[in-house]
Chain A
Amino acid sequence: MKVLQRQGRKLTLVGLMIVLLVLFIVVALRSGPLAPIAVTLDTVEARAVSPGLFGIGTVEPRFTYRIGPTTAGRVKRLLVDVGDRVTAGELLGEMDPVDLDERVRSQDAIVSRSRAALDEAQARQDYAQAEAHRYEQLLVARSTSQEIVAARQDAGQRSIAAVQAAQADVARARAERNAVATQRQNLRLIAPVNGLIASRDAEPGTTVVAGQMVIEIIDPLSLWVNVRFDQGNATGLQAGLPATVTLRSRHGATVTGRVQRVEPRADAVTEETLAKIMFAIPPTPLPAIGELGDVSVTLPAQSAGPVIPNAAIHRVDGTTGVWQVVNGDLRFTPVMLGASDAAGHVQVRAGLDTGDRIVVYSARMLSARSRITVVERIPGVTP
């Protein structure tokens, strides 16, 4: 190895040592707890914030008609199935009359018998009246005693009452017969309105109790979305606001609607406000009942004002505010906030003006004593 080579080697070694030393110093100062914290800055813009409310809703029919018998019985036949459209007054099915027909006939017989009883009472009345009249005439001719005349008159009165009773009996028998006949009518299940059969809950042959639903009819034109909003985020919700609904089964396709009403009764347990959204145009094909939808309600835009991203808002010692860089140091500026929109823009009512520079993102938690360095993007974040 020549002298120059040796010199070169010495230089290489020395150079290596220097590189090592530099690396070491760099490492010591730039990493670990001594390193400054990377932050990004942003300028406060003036913007009109359109707050939006977001909730999950289920598609429900506005009116549901549950058709069923008024007495316990057995389903005899059903003429419609799920998905059929029916018109008002259409026969949907029938319950098994069981013994009702016999009972109607029995009531008929009772009516006949009571009429016969009435005839008999009428005949007696005629006879008793005639007798009373004859004996009154005999009394005038002094052929009979007062006592006998009185007895005959009394019989005559009683026969009138008997006729009245028999008449009432007939009326009652008739009414009862009508009642059973109406019951018999009730075994026919009739659609009350035009609609769509939503469910068929009991097949022919099933025994059902009084009031149990056999057929459910809904009005397809009256589908609405029953939506739940978080109470804390439901400021400004009122009827008439425009809304968009994204049904679960139709990704990306939004349907426009309107807030029909805000329910007066909220859910205290889940802390949610309920509202109903009507579709502007019912979507075709109709969404299934119970299908979930994401609902966004847009509130009217507020007037333009200074706006900050919600990532910049921090809470220090109980005060809400943002960090600002003043002369290279961090300073915490308390702010009063207003409405916010779904994209995370929050109105500033006091504390900042348009054009102020604020800290938005930071690589670590910030405090007034932190050393910072301003960067374009926090390291590690890919655009």
Chain B
Amino acid sequence: MISLAARDILHDGPKFALTGLGLGLLIGVTLSMAGVYRGMIADGRALLDNSGAELWVVQQETLGPYAEPSSLYDDAYRSVLTVAGVAQAANVTYLTMQIHGARGDVRAMVVGIAPGPAGTPGWPPYLIAGRQVTRSHYEAVADLASGFRLGDRIGIRRHEYIVVGLTRRMVSSGGDPMVFIPLKDAQDAQFLKDNDAILQGRRRTEENPAFNRPGSPGVLDAVIASQSRSRSVNAVLVTLQPGHRQDDVAAVIARWKRLTVYTRAQMEAILVGKLIATSAKQIGMFLVILAIVSAAIVAFIIYTMTLGKIREIAVLKLIGTRNRTIAGMIMQQAVVLGVIGFVVGKIAATFWAPFFPKYVLLMPRDSLIAFFAVLLICVLASLIAIRAALRVDPAEAIGG
């Protein structure tokens, strides 16, 4: 027995292929949307993993440093270091801002990393080119997504930095690429204004008679100097010695140092549960709608394809073809269409994923679920079409 489904496909090759292509693009879009959803969550996790920290110490009663602004004195880390179980405690600052590069402005998250040996929390955990920062000023390590290359000179606020290293997949939870600069420079960038604002500030201080006493010439200078320094950081990143539990050490720090401390699990809950929750839900809903629409379109395509063959089906029934054979032909075609659609969709989604501005994560598990979903939808759709086909009266073939 020959396969009627195969013959029909071969005969109508281009039409079938085009239908499969169209279906595949639709499935690809759905897969991509799922990838966007997963990418958002992965970005949040990457942010936490890449910081290399087990505990985050932030301003009291804030959800910082990612979900809410948080400001600590930069010597707070010294008292955190004294807590039992703490291996490393490093200051860190985060600020999303525009960076001026040779090829235009880039929106990036500027991370201020504390000086120390490689492996200090906050430092990029791996590089793809170049080296880590060695000087205490004016060097930067940038993420590939920023578009900067080794040796580029980039401008952050008032200073110029030279890119000495490149990383990959270091992004903020919003998908902005990260640029790592020494902590002091980052503090200046975050808290020190541009020249005009500084001059205005100085002028205002000079006009204040409390600071500008004639008998005490040094007071004005001291006040201006104190206004020009910044003593704040956004958080302290902590790693623990082996054998100590995150919750225990966090509780100690929180109680005795009057700071708020979050463990890795809590930070993840904040990031995923609060920061990206709304966007994630938005995309999740859209994904569901897209999947339903895709299913409907697949069903429609299969149904229409079957209806186009109604006369052949009537003839086949009349000359003695079994219902089983006809049903098999329809279902086989539907399944082949589904498989082609899925393959095209997966390939398309993989090839256009890197062009999305934010990270698209296509997980094998999602693809597997999608595969079985597509097959299921094709089978169900073919059942509807089969029902229509079998209801055809073979007597239709004999004219009235």
Contact = CB atoms under 8 A, between A and B. Distances in A.
Contacts of A362: 126, 128
A52 to B, nearest CB: 8
A4 interface: no
Interface in A255-301: 269-270, 294
A33 interface: yes
- Band of interface residues on B: 35 or more
A314 B144 contact: no
Nearest to A362: B126
B182 to A, nearest CB: 8
A13 B137 contact: no
A113 interface: no
A315 B119 contact: yes
Contact of A55 (B136, B168, B361): B136
A328 interface: no
Interface string B164-185: 1110110000000000000010
Interface stretch (B200-208, B303-311, B326-334, B340-348): B340-348
Contacts of A103: none
B214 A320 contact: no
Interface of B: 9-10, 13, 17, 49-50, 52, 75, 87, 115-119, 125-132, 134-138, 144, 149, 164-166, 168-169, 184, 214-215, 217, 229, 231, 239, 241-242, 340, 343-344, 346-347, 350-351, 361-364, 367
Given A313-B119, A318-B241, A320-B118, A28 B346 contact: yes
Contact of B118 (A21, A310, A378): A310
Contacts of A16: 17
A42 to B, nearest CB: 12
A213 B217 contact: yes
Contacts of B166: 381
Given A366-B126, A378-B168, A54 B137 contact: yes
A100 interface: no
B364 A269 contact: no
Interface SS majority for chain B:
loop
A139 interface: no
B395 to A, nearest CB: 34
Contact of A364 (B168, B340, B344): B168
Q: Chain A interface mostly helix, strand, loop or mixed?
A: mixed
B131 A309 contact: yes
Interface in A13-62: 13, 16-17, 20-21, 23-24, 27-28, 31-34, 54-56
A344 B242 contact: no
Contacts of A134: none
Interface residues of A, number: 57
Nearest to A9: B13
A175 interface: no
B79 to A, nearest CB: 14
Contacts of B49: 365
18 contacts: A10-B10, A24-B343, A27-B346, A28-B364, A28-B367, A232-B116, A233-B115, A311-B132, A313-B117, A340-B134, A341-B134, A344-B164, A360-B127, A361-B127, A364-B126, A364-B168, A365-B125, A377-B129
Contacts of B125: 314, 365
B10 A363 contact: no
Contact of B350 (A20, A31, A230, A363): A31
